[in-house]
A and B are shown apart, each in its own frame.
Chain A
Amino acid sequence: MNDHAVQLTNVVVNRNGILALDDVSVGIGFGRITGLLGPSGSGKSTLMRAIVGVQIVASGSVTVLGLPAGAPELRSRVGYVTQAPSVYRDLTVRENLSYFRNILGTRNADVDRVLEAVDLTSVQSQMVKTLSGGQEGRVSLATALLGKPELLILDEPTVGLDPVLRRDLWALFHTLADSGITILISSHVMDEASRCHDLILMRDGKLLAQGTERELLLQTSTDDIESAFLHLVDGHT
């Protein structure tokens, strides 16, 4: 499986007595944008946490860029954006980024680069708590872009954004992917499927299907991913 940036094999995760991941095996291709789709509670975030290495895994293995997930060598190579923005609300945008840049040990100019990438240059001196929810989410995203991440794990980064911004962010993701960065992006909005190279569909902690949008539509003889999803769910039960 050398062509996979991330490989999960028979991964089982127990959270509070519930099987959050139930024997999931899936691979994520290098330099591709993989969409992780499923309703909320389907295990998307848990899968992402397992890849980042912050989730205790009951059994199975997670390999990231050839190393076990959570290996110290991966800490500057994997960028992770949680669903709730994890930044300091009582600091300015720039202070947040400068601090995380210091921790990563990258150049000062890096801050300006990521500010521009997420279109926050104009609000860089504002306190994060005074920003809108969408802007706060982008501060969190900008943090993950600091340094030279080879793999980006983005948990619902486009939720609640206005369509123009959503389009711009997807353009950014494609630019990043074109430069060789592997991206895993989760969403519960099925219509984002067409913007991804590959798809992973999940439900109730189980892998429902994986492949390109085209493959999944062909396989289920449907016209859109939402119908494909329903077809697969019906097939399973």
Chain B
Amino acid sequence: MSAHRTVATARRVLAQLRHDPRTIALLLVVPAMLMTLLAWILDDANWQRYAPGLLGIFPMLVMFLVTSVATLRERTSGTLERLLSMPMSKADFVFGYALAFGLLAIVQAIIVGGLCFVALGLTMRGPTSLVLMVAVLDGLLGTALGLFVSAFAQTEFQAVQFMPVALLPQFLLCGLIVPTDDLPSVLRFLSALLPLTYAFDAMQKLAQNEVVSSGFWVDVAILVAMALALLTAGTATLRRRTR
């Protein structure tokens, strides 16, 4: 793996995005719009209850979609094959994408978080910098999942259809709708295997406690481990040789 090639790849991915202002606008504006809508329809108590978790869900959703379509394009257009026939390691490719979309996740989190804190009256007791960190980790998890899933899609149509498969169950089980402690034991066990559960829990902890608990750091450690494991699994789906 080389830092030089990873950075070059990240810059290339960002250059592609720069030529596509509509996608950037969708990435940044849609989550902000949805949060505004949510603040509007909920009373304050419910807004304070639901908003922190959603701050952790948007980055994963958006990055999943962008990554699965972008890497599928690399697979089908032959550019991935070309890159892998050059002195490029698979890790350069994967971490290049992770770096580019990680940066994008930061910008998204600043815009959406800023809107929620400044204009929509959301209060989180924990430090804002940690809210940003969890959002970025979440975005990376979305990137990793999208990369992994793109290996099983043959068309962009299919890649988009994988979104409900990979993300909706996580959304239902993460604790947002029913607290995980109240779930039937089988579902509680399942929810403990899913990354979004920890992202949601970490955001809840930041919302409720001024002092950062060790439980928060356990969540973060699990998120980091899951992101790395998924990125590694995603790397394994890239093939230099095919049939």
Contact = CB atoms under 8 A, between A and B. Distances in A.
Whether both chains belong to one complex is answered with yes
Interface of A: 14-16, 52-56, 70, 72, 75-76, 78, 80, 82, 84-91, 95, 99-100, 102-105, 127, 143
Contacts of B87: 72, 75-76, 103-105
Interface stretch (B12-20, B160-168, B170-178, B189-197): B12-20
Interface of B: 4-5, 8-9, 11-12, 15-16, 19-20, 77-79, 81-88, 240-243
A148 B238 CA distance: 26
B119 to A, nearest CB: 34
A182 B243 CA distance: 26
Nearest to B92: A103
B19 to A, nearest CB: 5
Given A55-B242, A99-B9, A99-B12, 13 more contacts: A52-B85, A56-B242, A72-B87, A76-B87, A82-B78, A85-B78, A95-B12, A99-B8, A99-B11, A100-B82, A100-B86, A102-B4, A103-B83
Contacts, number: 80
A86 B79 contact: yes
12 contacts: A53-B240, A55-B242, A55-B243, A56-B242, A85-B78, A86-B78, A91-B15, A91-B16, A99-B11, A99-B12, A102-B4, A103-B8
Contact of B12 (A55, A76, A88, A105): A88
Contacts of A82: 78, 81-82
Contacts of A54: 81, 84-85, 240-242
Given A70-B241, A86-B78, A103 B86 contact: yes
A117 to B, nearest CB: 18
Contacts of B9: 99, 103
B77 to A, nearest CB: 6
Nearest to B93: A103
Contact of A127 (B19, B84, B88): B19
Which of A14, A16, A55, A86: most chain B CB closer than 10 A? A86
The 10 A-B pairs with the shortest beta carbon distances in the complex, nearest first, are: A86-B78, A102-B8, A99-B12, A75-B87, A86-B82, A90-B16, A82-B78, A56-B241, A86-B79, A76-B87
Nearest to B12: A99
A15 B241 CA distance: 13
A145 to B, nearest CB: 13
The dominant DSSP class at the B interface is: helix
Nearest to A13: B243
A56 B88 CA distance: 19
B5 A103 contact: yes
B154 to A, nearest CB: 14
Contacts of B243: 14-16, 55-56
Contacts of A104: 86-87
B81 A86 contact: yes
A139 B242 CA distance: 24
Contact of A75 (B12, B78, B86): B86
A21 to B, nearest CB: 12
Contacts of B86: 75-76, 100, 103-104
A75 B83 CA distance: 10
A37 to B, nearest CB: 23
A198 B218 CA distance: 66
Which of B8, B9, B84, B86: most chain A CB closer than 10 A? B86
B16 A80 contact: no
Contact of A95 (B15, B20, B78, B88): B15
A131 B9 CA distance: 23
Given A88-B79, A103-B5, A53 B85 contact: yes
A136 B21 CA distance: 23
A90 B88 contact: no
Contacts of B83: 103
Given A70-B240, A86-B79, A90-B20, A103 B88 contact: yes
A83 to B, nearest CB: 9
Which of B15, B84, B88: most chain A CB closer than 10 A? B15
Contacts of A80: 82, 85
A6 B49 CA distance: 67
Contacts of A91: 12, 15-16, 19
Which of B11, B20, B83, B243: most chain A CB closer than 10 A? B243
B86 to A, nearest CB: 5
